[in-house]
Chain A
Amino acid sequence: MIEFIKTLISGLGLGSIYALIALGYTMVYGIAKMLNFAHGDVIMVGAYAGIVAFTSAGLPPVFTVFLSVLVCTLLGVTIEHFAYKPLRGASSLSVLITAIGMSYLLQNLALMIFGSQQKAYPQYVKLGQVSLGAVTVDGITLLTLGVTACIMVGMSLFINRTKLGKAMRAVAEDRGAAELMGISVDRTIALTFAIGSALAAVASMCYGLTYVYIKPTTGAMPGIKAFTAAVFGGIGSLPGAMLGGIALGVIEQMAKTYISPLWADAIVFAVLVLVLVVRPTGLLGKEIQEKV
């Protein structure tokens, strides 16, 4: 039982990281209708920014996080402006390939600047082990859970209560109509990329503190898993991304503990395929009726 609770909590921690990344995927998909394959690599950039800020420049932890968020936000907006914006209105496949090119570009830039050797992410937050009754868990896992919970509440409030959030929902629903209502579509899409990338920076902090080692290809696998999580929950839906991310993390940890670490990835993907076969638009995705 103790092992089960431990696995569940570490699964929730991993799932929180997936959820943070998946939020970025799903927001961009919902509003710009594109799969941003470079999103995973923004996390990698965020992690390297953290390393440079803390280890090389010696900034205090708060500024390190702030700088990491700033770098990712600027990067997200820049990528959108130069690579995706000119392709607005082009086929979605050409945007997808551009995003893949962007992902190669970021990975190879990181490879050139930082080399292929893995680097240690500075452990500027030390929490050690925390015991909750009979169960001891990593303090970092609890921190990740707390941060993610705050962000989820904040995001829900932002999307549902503020004027900008309303604008984002409007653009997601009908871009043309939103534009006629005086909403600047370009600015809303840029804002979406900014928020998504900022969340990726937070995810990079949680990832770095939990898994420590960072490589130029670090972003790829969490990126793919988070993309899977976003689809799992129903792509375009914010609660779906949160649910999908957490579900995926818990399934992965459970499979690692109770079946075999070697088979964990296969099991995660198999569950995804099964869920999609039963519910073709994901857990919380909206069924769109095709009109003739």
Chain B
Amino acid sequence: MGRAKELLKNKNAVTLIALAAAYAVVAWMLYSGHITRQFTNMIIPMSMYIVLAVSLNLVVGFLGELNLGHAGFMSVGLFTGCLLSISLADKLPLIARLPLCMLVGGICAGLFGFAVGMPALRLKGDYLAIVTLACGEIVKNIITNLNVTGGARGLNTQPIYSGAKALLPYAVVLVFLTVIVMMHIKKSKQGRAIMAIRDNRIAAESIGLNVTYYKLTVFIIAAFFAGAAGALYGHYFANVKAVTFDYNMSIEILVIVVLGGMGSVRGSVIAAVVLQALPEIFRDFGDYRMLIYAVVLILAMLLTNSPRLAPLRQKLSSVRLGKAKETGGENHGTA
């Protein structure tokens, strides 16, 4: 009993248990057939958005650098991973092929992350944001124009297509791996160094932290997970086009990170699930659904961030008792 209480106090453990429970329910529903088609179609994309949001949070929330090209990282991993998977489709079964392709896709995306991270060392704030956006668009343009990736018609991934039932175990492993790695980084010495760089780069540098090393590492790790998620995602479709993964998608991921709370792993997971589910929930509203999504987004930002509404928020959080402290502490703004 005492240990259970101790465990409940550990926020990370609670998150992991809740996530495991959620996936257990989803898996039971999926494999026993107690599930609608609409819900089945959400499982893999939702898992991918969790990985993308949590990994982007490492760059935006922990390191404090605005990245508007996360979909580009994913795209690199998706196309390299899927090309490898197509060439190995007859030789290896899914169980060996998919992890290998996710690894290769992740590494290729990581290399690209390194390339994008290099200018990041010289640029600050919005200038870096525009360079990441530009890199994402360059990737999109290159992949669309190459013959090997199917050009504008998109890559035919029919030979490697696998349904949600086959992909769910890999998705669960990837989600847990990403979440655990991020939680570990946050608590580790390296994580504190990264957050120190975010809070005050000059002070961090003056106590001997290697800013170059940490910034590049963060970009590489974030890109790696995005790439691995991309390689997995590609197997879920019969055809993938690079134009789908443009700056709009990067922005979509950024919205998840910001709404979930900067630097909060749990927040990113929850926001990814909620924001991906919203358009489905509002499906009955037809044409109004994206309109409602936009209004909800604006109102959520105004309610959670407006300095004018601070007294109202305080009143609400005092009703929710201790809750105020956790969310308040993690809402760290960056320039």
| Chain A residues with a Cβ under 8 A of chain B | 29, 35, 37, 83, 86-94, 96-98, 100-102, 104-105, 108-109, 111-112, 220, 224, 227-228, 231, 235, 262-263, 265-266, 269-270, 272-273, 276-277, 280-282, 290, 292
User: Could you name 18 residue pairs across A and B whose Cβ atoms are closer than 8 Å?
Assistant: A92-B334, A94-B304, A97-B254, A100-B297, A104-B294, A105-B291, A231-B127, A235-B126, A262-B144, A262-B145, A263-B141, A266-B138, A266-B142, A272-B134, A273-B134, A276-B130, A280-B124, A292-B203
- Do residues A265 and B137 form an inter-chain contact, with CB atoms below 8 A? yes
- The answer to whether A91 touches B305, judged by C-beta atoms less than 8 angstroms apart, is yes
State whether A92 touches B333 (Cβ < 8 A).
Answer: yes
Which 10 pairs between the two chains have the least Cβ-Cβ distance?
Answer: A91-B333, A266-B141, A101-B297, A104-B294, A269-B134, A105-B294, A94-B305, A101-B298, A90-B305, A86-B306
A269: contacting residue among B137, B290, B295, B306, CB under 8 A: B137
Q: Tell me which residues across on chain B come within 8 A of A87, comparing CB atoms.
A: 301-302, 305-307
On chain A, the residues within 8 Å of B308 by CB distance are 86
Tell me if A276 and B123 are in contact (CB < 8 A). Answer: yes
With the chains together, A94 CA to B255 CA distance in Å? 9
Residue of A nearest to B135 (CB): A273
A35 contact set on B, CB distance < 8 A: 126, 129
Residues of A within 8 A of B331 (CB): 91
Q: How far is the CB of A38 from chain B (nearest CB, A)?
A: 10
Q: Would you give the shortest CB distance from A215 to chain B, in whole angstroms?
A: 15
How many Å lie between the Cα of A86 and that of B254 in the bound state?
A: 21
Contact of B138 among A90, A91, A97, A270 (CB under 8 A): A270
Residues B258 and A97 in contact, CB atoms below 8 Å apart: yes
Which of chain A's residues have a CB closer than 8 A to the CB of B287? 111-112
List residues of B (46-98) whose CB comes within 8 Å of A's CBs. Answer: 60, 66
Quick one: given A89-B307, A231-B127, A235-B126, are A98 and B298 in contact (CB under 8 Å)?
yes
Please report the C-alpha to C-alpha distance between residue A270 and residue B142 in the assembled complex, in whole angstroms. 11
Main secondary structure of the interface of A (DSSP, over half): helix
Interface size on B, residues (CB 8 A): 52
Question: With A105-B298, A269-B137 given, is the CB distance from A90 to B307 under 8 Å?
Answer: yes
A231 contacts across to B, CB distance below 8 A: 126-127, 130
CA distance in complex: A100, B138 (Å) = 22
**B251 cross-chain contacts in A, Cβ below 8 A:** 37, 100
A224–B247 touching, CB < 8 Å: yes
Q: Which residues of A contact B309 (CB under 8 A)?
A: 86
Among the listed B144, B145, B295, B302, which residue makes an inter-chain contact with A86, where contact means beta carbons less than 8 Å apart? B302
Q: Classify the interface of chain B: helix, strand, loop or mixed.
A: helix
* B26 CB contacts on chain A under 8 angstroms: none
Q: Which one of A29, A108, A276 lies within 8 Å of B119 (CB-CB)?
A: A276
Q: How far apart are B79's CB and chain A's nearest CB, in angstroms?
A: 15
Q: How far is the CA of A175 from the CA of B305 in the complex (A)?
A: 21
Residue contact A272 to B301, C-beta cutoff 8 Å: no
- Taking the closest CB of chain B, its distance from the CB of A76, in whole angstroms, is 16
Q: Are A272 and B255 in contact (CB under 8 A)?
A: no
Given contacts A100-B254, A102-B298, 6 further A-B contacts (CB under 8 A): A91-B333, A97-B255, A97-B258, A100-B255, A228-B134, A263-B145
Question: Bound state CA distance, A88 and B306, in angstroms?
Answer: 7
**Could you tell me the distance between the alpha carbons of A92 and B135 in the complex, rounded to whole angstroms?**
22
Chain B contacts for A93, CB-based, 8 A: 60, 66, 258, 262, 333-334
For B262, the chain A residues whose CB sits under 8 A away are 93
Q: Nearest Cβ in chain B — how far from A41, in angstroms? A: 11
Cβ of B133 within 8 Å of any chain A Cβ, yes or no, is yes
State how many angstroms separate the Cβ of B158 from the closest Cβ of chain A.
Answer: 25
B130 touches A228 (CB 8 A): yes
Residues from chain A with a CB closer than 8 A to the CB of B297 are 97-98, 100-101, 104
Complex interface: chain A residues within 8 A of B122 (CB): 277, 280
In chain B, residues 241-289, which have Cβ atoms closer than 8 Å to a Cβ of chain A?
247-248, 251, 254-255, 258-259, 262, 287-288
B293 lies within 8 A of chain A by Cβ: yes
Complex formed: what's the CA distance from A273 to B202 in Å? 25
Chain B, Cβ-Cβ closest to A231: B130
The chain B residue sitting closest to A103, CB to CB, is B294
Cβ of A98 and Cβ of B134 under 8 Å apart? no
B298 near A83 (CB under 8 angstroms)?
yes
Asked whether, in the complex, the Cβ of B138 is within 8 Å of the Cβ of A98, the reply is no
CA distance A96 to B290 in the complex (A): 19
- Interface flag for B335 (CB, 8 Å): yes
**Residues B247 and A265 in contact, CB atoms below 8 Å apart:** no
Assess whether A109 is in contact with B138, with CB atoms less than 8 Å apart: no
The smallest C-beta distance from A212 to any residue of chain B, in angstroms, reads 23
Indicate whether A83 sits within 8 Å of B255 (C-beta atoms), given known contacts A90-B333, A280-B127. no
